[in-house]
């Protein structure tokens, strides 16, 4: 099993967990980057107060996210961490030869980025892109108001993990080309 091959190694567990936590924290704090910037750089408050405020904003996962968006935000964070660990493992195992698998993995990570979103916006990235091209109303007519992108991201990440798993599980052999002479 590719999963056990990768995650029997502690560095990959630590790496996946660290990346997942970073993505989760960024996703929850994303709505208030302007506030954090102002507090960290522009406030005369103590460092302790600044840290307390930052940590308290993580509670926004309960209040500023719908149940659906909280679930897929957490799932995306976990899956991106796992995805990244498997990409790194694949790169090291095949010495950079597995370009397709790596590209697939990076694509999966990118799709996870697409799906991360806050409370009622579903996908901050896609909603912002659509707004830039004047199609913000496109999100409003969706049944889940953009939450679909989070679900799609989870699905894409799951598919990516499957592809990566197959790549990792393949034996390292050279396949002869068919000679048509």
Partner 1 sequence: MEESPKQNNLSTPAAIVVAGVFVAGAIYLAAGPANSVERQQPQVTEQQESGDLEQMTPVTAEDHVRGNLHAPIKIVEYSDMECPFCKRFHSTMQQVMDGYGKSGQVAWIYRHFPLDSLHPVKARAEAVASECANELGGNDAFWKFTDRFFEVTPSNNQTDIDAVLPQIAQEIGLDKSQFATCLTSGKYDEHVQNDLDNAIATGGNGTPWSIVVTESGKKYPLSGAQPYEAVKQLIELALSEQ
Distance (Å, rounded) from C-alpha 15 to C-alpha 4?
15
* Helix, coil or strand: residue 119: strand
Give the position of tokens 């913000």.
Answer: 136
Residue nearer to partner 1 on the CB measure, 8 or 37: 37
Q: Which of 45, 68, 97, 169 binds partner 1 (CB under 8 A)?
A: 45
Residue nearer to partner 1 on the CB measure, 18 or 100: 100
* Minimum CB distance to partner 1, residue 1 (Å): 25
CA-to-CA separations, 18 to 24, 69, 111, in angstroms, rounded: 10, 21, 19
95 binds partner 1 (CB under 8 A): no
How many residues bind partner 1 (CB under 8 A)? The answer is 57
139 binds partner 1 (CB under 8 A): yes
Q: Which of 81, 117, 147, 150 binds partner 1 (CB under 8 A)?
A: 117
35 binds partner 1 (CB under 8 A): yes
Phi/psi of residue 160, each to 5°?
-60, -40
Distance (Å, rounded) from C-alpha 181 to C-alpha 174?
21
81 binds partner 1 (CB under 8 A): no
CA 151 to chain centre: 12
Contact of 39 with 50, CB cutoff 8 Å: yes
Distance (Å, rounded) from C-alpha 111 to C-alpha 125?
10
Q: Which of 64, 91, 158, 170 binds partner 1 (CB under 8 A)?
A: 64
Phi/psi of residue 65, each to 5°?
-130, 140
Interacting residues with partner 1 (CB under 8 A):
26, 30-35, 38-39, 42-46, 49-50, 52-53, 56-57, 59-60, 62-64, 66, 99-100, 103-104, 106-107, 109-111, 113-114, 116-121, 124-125, 127-129, 131, 136-137, 139-140, 145, 175, 177-178
């Amino acid at each position: 099993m590719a999963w056990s091959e990768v995650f029997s190694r502690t560095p990959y567990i630590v790496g996946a967990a660290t990346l997942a936590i970073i993505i989760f924290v960024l996703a929850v704090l994303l709505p208030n980057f302007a506030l954090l910037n102002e507090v960290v750089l522009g406030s005369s408050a103590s460092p302790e107060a600044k840290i307390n405020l930052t940590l308290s904003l993580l509670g926004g996962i309960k209040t500023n996210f719908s149940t659906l968006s909280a679930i897929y935000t957490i799932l995306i964070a976990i899956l991106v961490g796992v995805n990244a660990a498997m990409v790194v493992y694949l790169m090291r195992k095949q010495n950079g030869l597995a370009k397709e698998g790596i590209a697939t993995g990076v694509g999966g990570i990118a799709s996870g980025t697409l799906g991360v979103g806050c409370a009622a916006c579903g996908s901050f990235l896609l909603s912002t892109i659509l707004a830039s091209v004047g199609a913000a109303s496109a999100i409003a007519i969706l049944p889940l108001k953009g939450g679909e992108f989070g679900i799609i991201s989870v699905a894409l990440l799951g598919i990516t993990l499957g592809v990566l798993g197959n790549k990792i599980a393949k034996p390292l052999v050279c396949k002869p080309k068919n000679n048509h002479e």
